[in-house]
Structure 1
Amino acid sequence: MIGHQLGGRYEVIERVGGGGMALVYKAQDLLLNRNVAIKVLRQQFVHDEEFIRRFRREAQSAASLSHPNVVSIYDVGQEDDVHYIVMEYVEGKNLNEIIKERAPLQVDEAVRIASQIADALDHAHHNQIIHRDIKPHNILIGRNGRVKVTDFGIARAVTSTTITQTGSVVGSVHYFSPEHAKGIVTGEKSDLYSLGIVLYQMLTGQLPFLGESPISVALKHLQEEFDEPRKFNPLIPQSVENVILKSMRKNPQERYQSAREMQTDLETCLMPERRNETKIDFPDEDDIDQTRVMPAIKPEPRGVTSTGAVPVMDSDDDHNKGKPKTKNWKKPALLISLTVLILIAMVGVVWYVKGMLVVPDVTVPNVIGQTEEKARQMLQDKGLVVSTEVIRKYKEGVDPGIVFDQTRNEGDVVKEGSEVQLSVGAEKELTKMISVEGDTYDEAVKKLIALGINEDQIKRKDDFSNDIASGNVISQTPGVDVEFDPKETEIVLTVSKGAKTVKMPDLKNKTRSQAEELIRSAGLVLAQVQEEPSYTIEQGKVTQQWPVEAGTEVNPGDKITIFISTGYPPEALNYDYNINVSPKEEGKSSKIRITFEDARGKNQEWGTRTIKSAQLLTIPLILAPNVDGVVSVYRDDQFLDTYLVSYSEAKNGTVVVPTIEPEKGAQPPPDETDPGKVDEETVDPNQEGEPDTPVDGEVDNEEGDTSAMNKEKGPSKAKGKDNKKKEVVNASSRP
């Protein structure tokens, strides 16, 4: 693509960027003589008619925008299968690169950038254009600090058609608004939500929502609350945090109503009277489904009426009224009998306890280092009781099942039957390995450290992967759910280096067979062979390779198109330009050096010739309709003159043969006896078609050949000119 002209106007200079949808090149606008940026649609989308239609329509709509904070779109075009957009070229970096280099940014810088983005969005919204893909990658910061919003032309087409394209919309899911994630129609407030996330990222250096997949991130936009930015950066004033909180509300009605309103808030949020304002509050809306506290319903006590009155019951006394009372002697006798029995039992208990208090003493043995079974036996043999609550835990240096502590020390004298608690070694408690596959390396390390693993136990191993994105974990050792010791086990994470790539070989100036062999050796596929004329590459050799240049990293299996030279184009004119030259002084040696320019390029050396007399030199030129020839003559390392050879004059045979005379007043030296002897010559061996060094006897033949050539190429020049030329040539041949 580099060196290629699009639309006959834009000459591609170099590749400056690219994403999942398109590649971006720096180019020269030959008509207006200015640098432009050209976004070229990737090959895999050139046959999607719906995408191309929307791509062109949206780009043309964005071309109507004219604002200092919006990258201007100059042109939209197509050349064969190449669809491109020509836009303003901005010298600088995109905001994503700046965030990676030095986030978090200074508060005033981040607010200034966000304010300019809001101004650009306000202009776009007033022109009924919704960006839909606001993210740091699409914000350019010029060398003068000017903020430029780009990608107005393809955002809508991208989001509707390429939801799975790596590095494009999948990357943009971190900046989706909730309504965008739902797939419903998005409006101006969706752009403001994305701008709030960009401001959040500039001030904290991280995104509000992260997840293992685009779907999980989209769900977080819909369901979860984000950590407030001041939690990560306490230097953020409350007024600035309020701007973020308001722009990132999940309910669009609670956000700013327009980009102009958000811009006004950004322009005033750093004023002294606003910096410490009250935190913005959003009241929760009533939800009929939310959990409520209801009063408990207590049952009425039995026998209580609904009015709370207790019903009146008839008592036995009412029935016994009027009957005579009799004495009951049975009750005192029963009480006396029970008292006697209790006294007898108490006497028996005292006697028994007294006997039990006389317990023999025993000495506690040392059971540390014994197995649990043997320790129990040793204690029981001494009349001691082993506690049922045995302490079992890992202790470094102690094998499982071995006693390492006892509650009664060796040699202690205790009563027989005393309880001893044992501490027994156990297997070291292991941890189940979690899954970190698919996470970025940094995320995986954070998760493993949370398990109690030291960072120096984590080893990284890089490998290629066609399925896992670069920087993400491909596999882990130990594997998922495997039990391991967090303090001792080495963790190995295999991290993706991306798809295995190869360097694109240089095919230029190679024959077709050589180029095909290089493509095959690199594991690439030759997609197409095209022919084109060339002034600089000889027939049958490669003039250019597309779509990637030599040295670019490409994936095995990528398709490559080569262009083969058919030689000079039909309109090329092979013209021999004649010029009469003389030495500085007649009879003395002078070195004549000639350089020229033609359709084959500039600064070409014809060669150097040493002469002592006037001679006619012929310089073969290749002329094109839009490229004239230029011949420059040097004598004795001094520049003499430059002669223009136009295509039209050469084609019509009207080119005048110039003559370079000796310096005025120069006379041949009196001791020069052979001014016509053979001249010495130094000629560039690579120059094709140069005449042999003439000698005195060959000049007339050369003159005759030249006359014949001029006769074939067109009408003869003015008579005076021809005579003058012949006189000079004849003079050079006289003895």
Structure 2
Amino acid sequence: MITQGVFIADRYEIIDRVGSGGMSDVYRAKDHILGREVAIKILKQEFSEDATFVAKFRTEAQSAAGLEHPNIVNIYDVGSENGMYFIVMEYVEGITLKTYIEKKGQLNFKEAISIAIQVGRGIEAAHQKGIIHRDIKPQNIIISTEGKVKVTDFGIARAASSNTIHADVMGSVHYSSPEQARNGFVDGKSDIYSLGIVMYEMVTGRVPFDGDNTVAVAIQHLQEEMVAPSAYAPELPISLEKIILKATMKKADRRYATISDLLVDLKKALVSPNEDFVTIVESDLGKTQVMRKPTPEQEESLTKRAAEALTFEDDYDDEEEDYDDDYYEDDYDDDEYEDESRMDRILTISGVVAAIAIVAILVAILGNVAGVFSFGAKKVTMVNLVGTQYEEALGQLEDLGLNEKNVVVSTEASDEAEGTIINQSVAEGKEFSLNDTLRITVAGKGETADNSSNSSSNTQTAPETTEEPEEEETVAVPSVIGLSQADATKLLDEKGIVVTSTSQEFSDDVASGKVISQSISAGQEVAKNTSITLTISKGKKETTYSYSIANPYEGECKYEITELGKSGTIPKNGSINISEVKVSSLTVKLTYTPTFTTEDGTTINLDDKTESTTQTVQGTAN
């Protein structure tokens, strides 16, 4: 039983359970070596003794471990302990696209295209490494709180090769391609089909095929024509409708040849949404059409125009569209969120030659329900106040959107002129939430705030104000240096001081997980509910190494690394990647047994002989 506080591999501390899938459960955990939150996917107990399921679980990690892309959930580690198999991956806080669609009903075409482009970029990165996802669906697409769209759960992905005859496992049937439904050859065009179905659902709020059981839905994918999306979304531009129709052609050779071609048309749809530029092959007969690939200059021009087209103007929305929906977590959280504001800008475009626009829908899901619906706090970039007079500083803060409720003022004896700002709790250039409290210290006469014990309050509102300042309850900040993060947070909470953020640093003197420093000095008097930040030790910095171990044989081979206690299988023409290892070289034993797999999935050894080699692999310092 995995419960809160349990450690896995003497490193990952379980915080809570955040989701569950068909094969595994997902937990949020704390990595005590690197000081970061991670997600751990643990194979369910009923499957851990099934060799087939274990093999699929390992394949997931090995397929995804080599993928590093902003639109893909990163895999950090994979291992097993006492018969429990687990994968450690990036923890993404946000909501699934499925939840977002359920809350919005139908997405407007700009939102749908921006999300589709980001998903497509993640799929493109995988295809370039020969990996087919095979299970693209809204439940496997996460929109983070920062607005980044990420593809997750390569649960049935594997490296594509010329001898790939059929998929071992069908993905969710509502999004499966016809070739997956009939257990046929699966390649990158299957992911294109599934992404086309996802786009259909985004713009219509429904899937094109549905039924009482999976067989009925699969037959519809094979035999029935789907209703055009414009039947449910009359204002859908013709370009996006034809992109969806082309991506979801039943015959794979009529779809887009590559995901990159699909991304080019999506960008064109942003620039010219009502232009009928998509060519759909309606019949196998006739001449072969050659599509010209855009030149780098054309690609760069299209990228810039697409970025400009993705700016949402104030007059874009009408009264019927509401971007201020509240959202609810699906796989990651059960808490209630609400949208901070409608999307008014898209992530910047970055790229290389023939790169495609990175676009993002800025989805904010911060907020709470307390009788009336209130929106999440806007963040601003703090300006420099030190050296300015209080009245001038107050004017700068008002320009940022702050008011006296956000500002706590303390006086302190100083050589500076009276009324001069000598300290601010948030440094220049740092992000600051308008719901947080900014502490500024003003030069004055008399004792400093730290030495004052008899005054009724060391905080004040604006100097020379005509209003009577309200008296605030103050507390002395305790020293939490050397305490664990949990103990420090508890102690500060008891004093009425709120830990709003933490950072991590390496330290030769402070043990890992302990507090190195605090943003407000111990003994200082502050108002209750004042925010404080802590710096947590990551322990001594140790050099770690990464390894890439290639398969030297013609078929799959097994490997064993004694130094790490790791073993597994390397796919044909593939390799494994191992990181965060504290030794500079590893001795790897590789064993190959010639096998043959029959049509019913039975694996037969061709002979009793095996080949084995032992090699020493040098690591690359991280």
Asked whether the two chains share a fold, i.e. TM above 0.5, the reply is: no
Q: State which structure, 1 or 2, has the greater radius of gyration over its C-alpha atoms.
A: 1
Give the TM-score normalised by structure 1.
Answer: 0.38
Q: What TM-score comes out, normalization by structure 2 length?
A: 0.44
Whose helix fraction is larger, Structure 1's or Structure 2's?
1
